[in-house]
Amino acid sequence: MIPTPDLSHLTRKDYEHVYEPAEDTFILLDALEQDAEYLRSVRPKICLEIGSGSGCVSSFLGTVLGGTCSLYLCTDINPHATQCTVRTGKQNKVELNAVLASFADPLNARLRGSVDVLLFNPPYVPTIGEEATEAQSSADIQGAWAGGEDGMQVTNRLLDMVESLLSSNGCFYLVAVKQNNVPGIQAKMLQEYGLHSEVVLHRRAGGEHLFVIKIFRGSSDQ
């Protein structure tokens, strides 16, 4: 049993601007814990979380793998979130390297084929497209959930970068809900990028049917 990261340093004030870990966060933690042995066996050197928010997920990954065993990079477009990410890392003795950035934009050139573990808990809630666009440019808490049409407006942009980022034995954990069309995501990654995938965890929580999809190169031995 790996403990949930200590978030006691974060306050109501922080959660006015930064998404507070909830069921969608916890299903991702559970998926990482379930894969802990596999993840350690890959001996990741570079882990990258997009939209790290509170920093809860990367802190947890750091605890799973060992704080000094990998580089933990975390991007977010929300400056409050990057600060919280660093603080949560410190609180949990994992050095999280936060970068204020959209997706992996400033890292893409140097991280080509180098990311061993990629994490994304995207804004997946279906909204009208404009709402998601505005939420992203406001770079505040709305950007953590408003996902536009099918809830896929933001996720689709990352899906097109995954293949170029992943290392040869790298894997990508993505949170999704049923309305995002999970089989559609899996088909797209296979057909357009030759990437395999499996649903490693799914559960109903509140009104949502949550999924964690693991996307990777190669065939079936992962």
* Minimum distance from residue 205 beta carbon to another protein (Å): 32
Task: Please give the residue ranges that form the binding site for another protein (CB under 8 A).
Answer: 43, 45-46, 67-71, 73, 77, 79, 82-83, 86, 95, 97-102, 105-111, 114, 139
Q: What is the DSSP string of the chain?
A: -PPPPP-TT--HHHHTTSPPP-HHHHHHHHHHHHTHHHHHHH--SEEEEES-TTSHHHHHHHHHH-TTSSEEEEEES-HHHHHHHHHHHHHTT--EEEEE-STTTTTHHHHTTTEEEEEE----B---HHHHHHHHHHTSGGGGTB--GGG-HHHHHHHHHHHHHEEEEEEEEEEEEGGG-HHHHHHHHHHHH--EEEEEEEEEETTEEEEEEEEESSSS--
Taking the least distance from each CB to another protein, the nearer of 113 and 184 is: 113
Our CB check for another protein shows the closer of 73 and 212 to be: 73
Shortest separation between residue 81's beta carbon and another protein, angstroms: 10
Nearer to another protein, 133 or 179 (CB): 133
In this complex, which beta carbon is closest to another protein, that of residue 111 or of residue 166? Answer: 111
Residue 137 Cβ, how far from another protein at the closest point, in Å? 8
Nearer to another protein, 43 or 178 (CB): 43
Residue 89 CB, shortest distance to another protein, in Å, is 9
> In the complex, what is the shortest distance from the CB of residue 170 to another protein, in angstroms, rounded to a whole number?
13
